[in-house]
A and B are shown apart, each in its own frame.
Chain A
Amino acid sequence: MSDDHSHPDLKHHVPLSERAKRAIAIHRLLVAKGIIGPAEVESVIDQVRTRSPADGAKVVARAWTDPAYKGRLLSDSRSAVLELGYRLSRDADLAVVENTAGVHHLVVCTLCSCYPTALLGPPPDWYKSFAYRQRAVVEPRAVLREFGTELDECARVRVVDSTADLRYLVLPRRPGGTDGMSEVELAGLVTRDSMVGVGEAKTP
């Protein structure tokens, strides 16, 4: 990439922060060395930004209404989400964990901020905070209460710390009183927090 190349989003009269200069320098090096293509970073960012919790909600609603799909989602998550048109990044795989009356999953990444962006979009700031990353593993029930989630006494908590190549999505419990609802209506009950495990799906 030559020096006179102007990045479409960066006007040269705007002073850049040191961090921004560093990011641009690293980007130029990666492109110059042929490790990534010139537009690859932008296309990945665009892809993440086009995803939102509404996408994960569609996957959950399908699993709630189609037991065979749910089985595939739990056993081969990558193929199951591909069926609905969602592509995962080439680097990270996906695992789906199911909340039941007996076990409640809560997802955290203590090492950084790994998150199923392919289905939920960018993570919320609290997910990346030191406070959440530290407390979710040491006192998950206290964290859940702060999110307004009171668990049944009989439910055990299973914290999932996604440290490596798997991104975790929680399949929340289907709320009661939803028997006649369509898949689209059900998807409206599935919140981001319920798919991270800090909350539960809304009741109609």
Chain B
Amino acid sequence: MGISAEAGHGLRVGDVVVVRNATPAHHHRTPWFVKGKTGRIASISGPFLDPESRAHGGDGLPKRRLCAVEFRQVDLWGEGYRENNRDSLLTDIYEHWLERLGQ
């Protein structure tokens, strides 16, 4: 899986991060329901070619590290999540979508 302890711009496994709440017009792989949400980096892989560039004929550079970010389900859905407060969701977010909380 190629996990490394450090992301391109200093993100590390264990960091608490906020997903940028942006809606660029171009193709991107960040699901709407995690935008603006806070989670924790569980692992880091890559770097991979950037799909936001490749989808539009670009070369995919610079490569981006991919962070598996874990969110509490109740943080994503609020009262809409009626199952179990301890449940979580893990999803892969490219590093340039993440900001370390408190910076």
Contacts and interface: CB of A to CB of B under 8 A. Distances in A.
Interface of A: 75-78, 93-95, 97, 110-111, 137-142, 156-166
Interface string B14-32: 0000000000000001110
Interface in B8-64: 29-31, 33, 43, 45-46, 48, 51
Interface of B is mostly: mixed
A157 B87 contact: yes
A201 to B, nearest CB: 21
A66 to B, nearest CB: 19
B90 to A, nearest CB: 5
A163 B45 contact: no
A95 B1 contact: yes
Interface of B: 1-3, 29-31, 33, 43, 45-46, 48, 51, 66, 68, 70, 73, 76-77, 80-84, 86-94
B51 A164 contact: yes
B1 A163 contact: no
Nearest to A138: B77
Most chain B C-beta atoms within 10 Å of own C-beta, residue among A78, A139, A141, A164: A164
